[in-house]
């Protein structure tokens, strides 16, 4: 491998690391500052827009960036907002959402595959948080009240991401060419 190729690969890894870090921060910020607490769920529930940057990251930069941005960004929210017992579950559940969406987006870079990935992310969220609540509350019925909020949260993200992803793909390609 030539020195120039090695230097270029190092630059690409640093760029990927920086992009993933930015999306961790965006996921955290969109979870913290753009949210509505629900009075209906047993744990209070929360609808937030943290899934928007998570989905964008996974679609644009793949499974590992999506998994890390989602799991760490939303896991940090849990740790720093008093929902500490949720953090390990969030890290795994949301990380899996980003990984699956990113994996599908890497395989086929088309809207139907992105949509399928986001729908699978919704299923992962519903099943994952249902199981997490069952474990945390020791009751299989309590988690049912959180499902509507999870659906609204992810469907809202799907709609927003579906609108903005094409221009963001173009912008991302332009930015990455500059580097």
DSSP class per residue in 4-41 = HHHHHHHHHHHHHHHHHHHHHHHHHHHHHHSEEE-SSS
pLDDT of residue 179: 44
pLDDT of residue 10: 79
pLDDT tens digits along 78-97: 999 998 999 999 999 999 99
pLDDT of residue 3: 52
Number of domains, the chain: 1
CB 45 within 8 A of CB 146: yes
Whole-prediction pTM = 0.89
pLDDT of residue 17: 93
Q: What is the mean pLDDT of residues 166-174?
A: 89
**Residue 5: exposed, middle, or buried by beta-carbon count in 10 A (0-12, 13-18, 19+)?**
exposed
Here the CATH number for the domain that contains residue 20 is 1.10.1760.20
What whole-number distance in Å separates Cα of residue 130 and Cα of residue 61? 28
pLDDT of residue 2: 54
Q: What is the mean pLDDT of residues 60-69?
A: 97
What whole-number distance in Å separates Cα of residue 164 and Cα of residue 44? 30
Query: How many separate helices (H) and strands (E) can be counted in the chain?
Result: 6, 2
pLDDT of residue 58: 98
Query: What range does the domain containing 110 cover?
Result: 3-178
DSSP class per residue in 129-152 = HHHHHHHHHS-SSGGGGGHHHHHH
């Amino acid at each position: 491998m030539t020195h120039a190729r090695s230097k270029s690969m190092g630059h690409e890894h640093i760029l990927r690391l920086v992009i993933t870090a930015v999306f961790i921060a965006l996921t955290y910020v969109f979870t913290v500052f753009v949210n509505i607490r629900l009075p209906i769920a047993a744990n209070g529930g929360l609808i937030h827009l943290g899934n928007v940057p998570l989905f964008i990251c996974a679609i644009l930069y793949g499974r590992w960036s999506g998994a890390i941005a989602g799991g760490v960004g939303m896991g940090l929210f849990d740790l720093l907002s008093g929902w500490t017992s949720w953090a390990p579950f969030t890290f795994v559940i949301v990380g899996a959402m980003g990984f699956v969406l990113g994996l599908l987006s890497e395989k086929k870079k088309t809207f139907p595959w992105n949509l399928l990935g986001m729908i699978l992310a919704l299923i992962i969220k519903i099943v994952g948080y249902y199981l997490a609540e069952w474990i945390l509350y020791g009751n299989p019925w309590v988690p049912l009240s959180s499902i509507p909020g999870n659906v609204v949260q992810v469907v809202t993200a799907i709609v927003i991401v579906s609108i903005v992803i094409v221009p963001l793909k173009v912008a991302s390609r332009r930015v990455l060419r500059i580097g």
